[in-house]
Structure 1
Amino acid sequence: MNRYTGGIFVAPLLGTALFVLVSFDAQWRGEWNWTVDTVTGSTVLTAPLAGSVGAYIAATQRRLDPLIAPSVRGWLVPVLSGFRAWLLALGVYAITCVTALTMTFLANHGGPLSLWALLIGPAVLAFCCMAGAALGWWWPHRLAAVFAAPALFLVGAFGPGPVADLLRQGPVTGSLAGLKYDARVWCLQVCALTAATVLIACALVPRRRSRKTLAKAAGAAVVSGSIFIGACLGLMTENAERFAASSEKPTSCMGAPQACLAPSNVRFLEDVSQALSTASEVLQGAGVNMPERYEQLLAGYQPPETSGLLTNVDDSPFSDLRRGAILVARPAACAAWTDPSEPPPDEAFQAQELLTEWIVGSGGEETYPWSAESEEWLSRPHRTDRTAWVVRTFSQLRRCQLSEVAMPWAVPQ
């Protein structure tokens, strides 16, 4: 084995990692922990491919076993095959880390940064490389390299219980604002991956070695096996999710009314503030009393009722007016909006939709009525009864009087 063994796989590994980074328009840029999760999530594809690298190197070295075995450290060759593949994959992982973190740094960035969470990536890569090396050593055929990657990917995608979760370290498809890595779950997963890697390495020790070597290998296998089982049992508890609610609050504010977002979503703040201001001007022109601020709903934070409620603050395909109309139509963070046991009545949601279309129409843009009644009401000339309904309904929404909200065609004229 020389320093170039397996080097032909570096380009495919790097290309696969970069593919993960640019997928879904790289929406993670600007949010630190989402960036971290995207990097660790790249191992969903790169780790199985690294397993094929380990299988290829091990299968190649197994053909030389008659020459290697008599040497003093010849029995370490299968383990070193996995180690060699891991070093190649680790280099690609390091490039991925630097690239992703630089991209976020150069963007409008914010939020917590859990750099320690990146360390699980090498553990995933090590397990897959050693598993691939074992396959290539026990089945010294080129097909071992072909089958290693899909086999490992299928284990991560459809494997049993916590074992599959060990190989699925992201990437999430949405913002991690208001969330943090659960250190307990992270530690258990790292322990399980490390123990499984050591267990496979011990299984590669040939039986023809001395009793002392075999005894040491057996002891290490027992210890690592026990750690693996214990970690998996710990991960089978009810609260074994990778993320938990954090203490992050919507402290980044701008505009009038103020739009307040979590630091993790600061890259959206200017656009959200502009959209809110645009829609608020239309409402204020009709005499509506606006709240002073709108705050983002987060996993660990419920804004006070005196503030408007912001959800879905990420990039929007709509114009500033329509986007602002959607956001501004929830002027109070009523508990009912997030209460699954007692949700608001249907009229409250319909009133929000009608308010949105009224704002859009009053701003001179095209409306999209959803029924004959809404089409007829929106197409009326500017009349005081429409303005009165808007002012009254917005006030009811702001005071959380959701059960009193009624559609204008259901209100006696």
Structure 2
Amino acid sequence: MKSFLDLPAAAARLHVGIWSIVIVISVQAFNLFDRDMPWRGEWNWAVDWAGSGLIIIGPLLAGVAAVDGGKMKSERRLPQASLISRPIRAIMGLWLTSAVPAVTAYVLSVGIFLYIADSATVVPRTPALLLILAQASALSAYILLGSVIGRMLGAVVGAPASAVGAVTIYWSLGRGGGDFAPFDVGSATSSLLGLQFSTTYILLQLSYLMAFMAGCLAVHAAINTRFQTPTAAGIAMAITLSSVVPIAMPRFKEHEVSASTCVSVQVTVCVYPEHERFLPDLARDVSIVQQAASQIGIADLLPRVYVERIPGEGIRSLDDQRGRLEIKPNDFSAGKVPIADVVHAIVLPWHCPQLFGENPPPPHFVGDITRIADTLTLLVESKTEPELTVGDARKTVAAINRCES
């Protein structure tokens, strides 16, 4: 029992790595408040956003772990409680002294992200939970990498070399671009609505990260033996090959979602449950725009039901008479859709193929849409008399709805 009690005290005295918790908390605190928490409401986005902090945390923890690894190199043995006096146990203690506080702090930070997200998502949450496990594994792998490099090169050279090595690992194995990237465990800067993490992708990530850590432990075990150089060279070669041989595998798959959270006043406005925080302002603004449309006689030519548009959604079906409202990436930080964007979305004929072709829509068509949108915006914002007559306005909107260009 004494060995167990002595372990935390010894770790605090002998290891820099135990303070990795401070690095994790500091970076994740900044990450939490960055851009005014645009991920609020989305479970998957919150988890992926939290993981983006590992781009900074990983190299920093690798550098810290290298200091402890360098101490092991210089002292030939790592002073520890009797519980882990054997070499392999000393190596595990070296790693876990950094990894346990870092992973604990990280998982708690993700919990805070998800608590604040307060998501009403109907998307299955299991893949995101698996991603959290992959994120914790990647964090542990960075630490183990740093301890190996530090033990081989010493603390002074090993710390910066480990940080550079971790950055290199991320640069080569953490940026997929459509291919499998085992260290790509968080990067989302825009909404993931309509997308779900691929469980196959995450399980393959976990397998790779386990193999990566096993390789690092093999190098640790081979240090100071005649197998040191071939073992390190073999692991480095395996990592290099895995970074240059692409495996086509998408990180996300499409997942059907429904704009099922609605408010009905003069018109009906529906958003996705994840974006319910936008609904009160959107419903109010749409009603105001409808009142402005009544002043120029076009209210009956506009839809009576509006639903939130999925990012990247294509042309609207002719059978779907509902209008579309768009929440753009910048709106997630602001927490509100600008009234000019609401007006433009209401006027825009989402069923017209001219808007979605390879070539830009004809200038006359765009001009008509802009003229109606500017008139409504002016009425909403300044309450001035419109320059368009009722007849001209109705004729223009009718032509827009018929996609006449």
Same fold (TM over 0.5): yes
Distance in 2 (alpha carbons) for counterparts of 1:229 and 1:148: 16
Residue 336 of structure 1: how far off its partner (Å): 4.2
Please report the TM-score for the alignment, with normalisation by the length of structure 1.
0.78
- Specify every segment of 5 or more residues in structure 2 that has no aligned partner in the other structure, as ranges: 1-6
> SS at 2:193's partner residue?
coil
Distance in 2 (alpha carbons) for counterparts of 1:322 and 1:72: 69
Write the mapping of 1:13-24 to structure 2, written as runs, cut at 5 A: 13-24=24-35
> CA, structure 1 residues 346+261, in 2 after alignment: closer, same or farther (shift >3 Å)?
farther
1:8 aligned partner: 19
2:146 aligned partner: 132
> SS at 2:270's partner residue?
strand
> CA, structure 1 residues 191+333, in 2 after alignment: closer, same or farther (shift >3 Å)?
farther
Distance in 2 (alpha carbons) for counterparts of 1:231 and 1:299: 33
Distance in 1 (alpha carbons) for counterparts of 2:350 and 2:184: 38
Q: Which of 366, 388, 392 is matched with 1:389 structurally?
A: 392
Distance in 2 (alpha carbons) for counterparts of 1:301 and 1:320: 20
Report whether the alignment pairs 1:85 with 2:98.
Answer: yes
> SS at 2:221's partner residue?
coil
1:97 aligned partner: 110
1:242 aligned partner: 251
Residue 198 of structure 1: how far off its partner (Å): 1.1
Q: Which amino acid aligns with 2:115?
A: T
> SS at 1:166's partner residue?
coil
2:370 aligned partner: 353
Residue 279 of structure 1: how far off its partner (Å): 0.8
| Structure possessing the higher relative contact order (Cα contacts under 8 Å, 6 or more residues apart) | 2
1:168 aligned partner: 184
Residue 347 of structure 1: how far off its partner (Å): 2.8
Report whether the alignment pairs 1:322 with 2:331.
Answer: no
Q: Is the 8 A contact 2:347 2:372 kept in 1?
A: yes
Distance in 2 (alpha carbons) for counterparts of 1:317 and 1:206: 54
Q: Which of 63, 73, 85 is matched with 2:86 structurally?
A: 73
Farther-moved stretch of structure 1 (15-24 vs 150-159)? 150-159
> CA, structure 1 residues 320+57, in 2 after alignment: closer, same or farther (shift >3 Å)?
closer
Residue 269 of structure 1: how far off its partner (Å): 1.8
2:297 aligned partner: 287
Residue 35 of structure 1: how far off its partner (Å): 0.8
Q: Which of 43, 51, 69 is matched with 1:58 structurally?
A: 69
Please report the TM-score for the alignment, with normalisation by the length of structure 2.
0.79
> SS at 1:244's partner residue?
strand
> CA, structure 1 residues 20+317, in 2 after alignment: closer, same or farther (shift >3 Å)?
closer
Residue 355 of structure 1: how far off its partner (Å): 1.6
1:282-311 CA-to-partner distances (Å, cap 9, x unmatched) read: 112322122121222325865533121222
Q: Which amino acid aligns with 2:99?
A: W
- What is the aligned-residue RMSD (CA, Å)? 3.5
Distance in 2 (alpha carbons) for counterparts of 1:320 and 1:233: 45
Residue 331 of structure 1: how far off its partner (Å): 4.6
> CA, structure 1 residues 10+317, in 2 after alignment: closer, same or farther (shift >3 Å)?
closer
Q: Is the 8 A contact 1:250 1:295 kept in 2?
A: yes
Distance in 1 (alpha carbons) for counterparts of 2:312 and 2:107: 32
Q: Which of 271, 277, 282 is matched with 1:261 structurally?
A: 271
- Specify every segment of 5 or more residues in structure 1 that has no aligned partner in the other structure, as ranges: 367-378, 406-413
Q: Which amino acid aligns with 1:341?
A: E
Q: Is the 8 A contact 2:51 2:186 kept in 1?
A: yes
Identity among equivalent positions (%) equals: 17
> SS at 1:241's partner residue?
coil
Q: Which of 132, 155, 178 is matched with 2:194 structurally?
A: 178
Farther-moved stretch of structure 1 (142-151 vs 13-22)? 142-151
Distance in 1 (alpha carbons) for counterparts of 2:221 and 2:110: 34
Distance in 2 (alpha carbons) for counterparts of 1:254 and 1:109: 16
Report whether the alignment pairs 1:149 with 2:135.
Answer: no
> CA, structure 1 residues 261+225, in 2 after alignment: closer, same or farther (shift >3 Å)?
farther
Q: Which amino acid aligns with 2:65?
A: G
> CA, structure 1 residues 204+321, in 2 after alignment: closer, same or farther (shift >3 Å)?
closer
Q: Is the 8 A contact 1:135 1:144 kept in 2?
A: yes
> SS at 2:375's partner residue?
helix
